[in-house]
Amino acid sequence: MRKLIAGNWKMNGNLAANEALLTAVRAGLAAEPAADVAVCVPAPYLAQVQGLCAGTPIAWGAQDVSAHEAGAYTGEVSAAMLRDFGCRFVIVGHSERRQYHGETDEVVARKAQRALACGITPIVCVGESEAQREQGDTEQVVKRQLAAVIHAVGHCVSEIVVAYEPVWAIGTGRTATPEQAQAVHAVLRAQLRAATPNERRVRILYGGSMNAGNAAALLAQPDIDGGLIGGASLKADDFLRIIAAAS
């Protein structure tokens, strides 16, 4: 299985900085990189990124999608709209959406459904808080979050990407050890195996402060199929080093 390195720019970027970053990433990539590469960008920059990445090995995607198909939902962006911009991926259920916008497991599952219905691959984020880990609830939490999506999308579950993002390691500079990350990835792999005979098609990414320094050790784990990269994806050299580690 080819690994996937996907950048999550979060609420960062501007026209000039985006062009400089992607120009540098393009220049540093092999014509046919050994890993799949994507960037998930703020919605206002989708047209720009589509233009900059078209014809390159870099896929692009969005950071969120509406759970609704269309209608009176001011400020939301539908999956069909993302499809118009050639999006291949969209992040759903990121912990920042769950925490700051009150997204439930059921809302995340509906968003995954909408993405799949439009031919877009949802990157489904799951992860536990520090308190939940300390209480020994990590496995229960991530399995509950993933189960909602499995139930909603049915036989299409083999078309999703899963990202394990321990909440306590997102944007904090802390990261799970390779052994801690692998243990949770193995749990998720077993859950997917029980849900679909095509579970090996599902890539499980690690997303808790993966950076150029720790990427190789994390990506060497048997059930870690890539990374969902936050801050390091905004620095071309760091992002390229992570891609190289995935190769």
168 is in an annotated binding site: no
At residue 18 the predicted structure's pLDDT band, cuts being 50, 70 and 90, is: very high
As a whole number of angstroms, the longest Cα–Cα distance in the chain is 48
* Length of the chain (residues): 247
CATH number of the domain that residue 130 is part of = 3.20.20.70
- Kindly tell me if the per-residue pLDDT of 55 is higher than 80: yes
55 is in an annotated binding site: no
Q: Is pTM beyond 0.75 here?
A: yes
Q: Who contacts 76 (Cβ-Cβ below 8 Å, separation ≥6)?
A: 66, 68
Per-residue exposure over 161-193, b if at least 16 CB sit within 10 Å of its own CB, e if not: bbbbbbbbbbeeeebbebeebbebbebbbebbe
Supply the pLDDT for residue 25. 98
What is the pLDDT averaged over residues 235-241? 98
- CA separation for the pair 161, 57 (Å, rounded): 19
Going 23 to 239 to 207 to 153, the CA torsion angle's sign is positive
Supply the pLDDT for residue 168. 86
At residue 76 the predicted structure's pLDDT band, cuts being 50, 70 and 90, is: very high
- Kindly tell me if the per-residue pLDDT of 31 is higher than 90: no
86 is in an annotated binding site: no
Q: Pull the structure tokens for residue 86.
A: 């050639």
Catalytic sites, residue numbers: 94, 165
10 is in an annotated binding site: yes
Find the domain containing 152 and state its range: 4-246
Supply the pLDDT for residue 209. 87
Supply the pLDDT for residue 52. 98
18 is in an annotated binding site: no
Q: Report yes or no: 231 and 171 within 8 Å, Cβ to Cβ.
A: yes
Supply the pLDDT for residue 30. 85
Supply the pLDDT for residue 176. 87
pLDDT, mean over the chain: 96
Q: What is the pLDDT of residues 84-143, one digit of tens each?
A: 999 999 999 999 999 999 999 999 999 999 999 999 999 999 999 999 999 999 999 999
Q: What is the pLDDT of residues 127-185, one digit of tens each?
A: 999 999 999 999 999 999 999 999 999 999 999 999 999 998 877 777 789 999 999 99
Q: What is the DSSP string of 32-53?
A: S-SSEEEEEE-GGGHHHHHHHH
Q: Into how many domains does the chain fold?
A: 1
